[in-house]
A = this chain, B = another copy of it.
Amino acid sequence: MTRAKPFRIDPKLDLLLERVVALPRERVWAAWTQPKHLKKWFTPAPWKTVEAEVDLRPGGRFYFLMQSPEGEKFPNTGCILEVVKNERLVWTNALLPGYRPASSGAASADDLVFTAVIALQRKGRGTRYTATAIHKNPDDAQKHAKMGFHDGWGKALDQLVALMKKK
């Protein structure tokens, strides 16, 4: 399998969270790819991730079920696109598992279609963590920003670090 080139970010279309965290990248990778970990950090409290599935291969299923503080449930099914262990994970909800195009009509009006690129680089004893959300148009990018992308993904990352430090 040919390796992909780095992504070129389009500031009008893409949202970016970049931080250096005090965890080896293997621990960050484990947190992102093992459902038992995902369920503990993936959703900023008081929201919860009550179910998670990761079929870690191109074309495989990336699924999580979020639950609001009021108990309302929000399922998300996506397709994994790239798996480079300890380096890069790419998934999208524009496709279902097996690369099947997703029915945008099936999603609620609040659902956003995006591709997530999680990139991990060694940085001393820690990891440079870069999460990019790639959208189809500026409206979706702005909507995602207003929904609290930076705050939400940042808080979730704090939860990831707190969880994986204990191990």
Binding site for B on A (CB under 8 A): 1-5, 7-8, 13, 56-60, 81-84, 90, 92, 94-96, 98-104, 113-115, 117, 134-137
Contact = CB atoms under 8 A, between A and B. Distances in A.
Nearest to A3: B57
Each complex incorporates copies of this chain amounting to: 2
A101 B135 contact: yes
A4 B58 contact: yes
Main secondary structure of the interface of A (DSSP, over half): loop
Contact of A58 (B2, B8, B101, B137): B2
A60 to B, nearest CB: 8
B101 A114 contact: yes
Given A4-B60, A103-B136, 14 more contacts: A1-B83, A2-B56, A2-B57, A8-B98, A13-B100, A58-B58, A58-B81, A58-B82, A59-B81, A59-B90, A92-B95, A95-B115, A100-B134, A101-B115
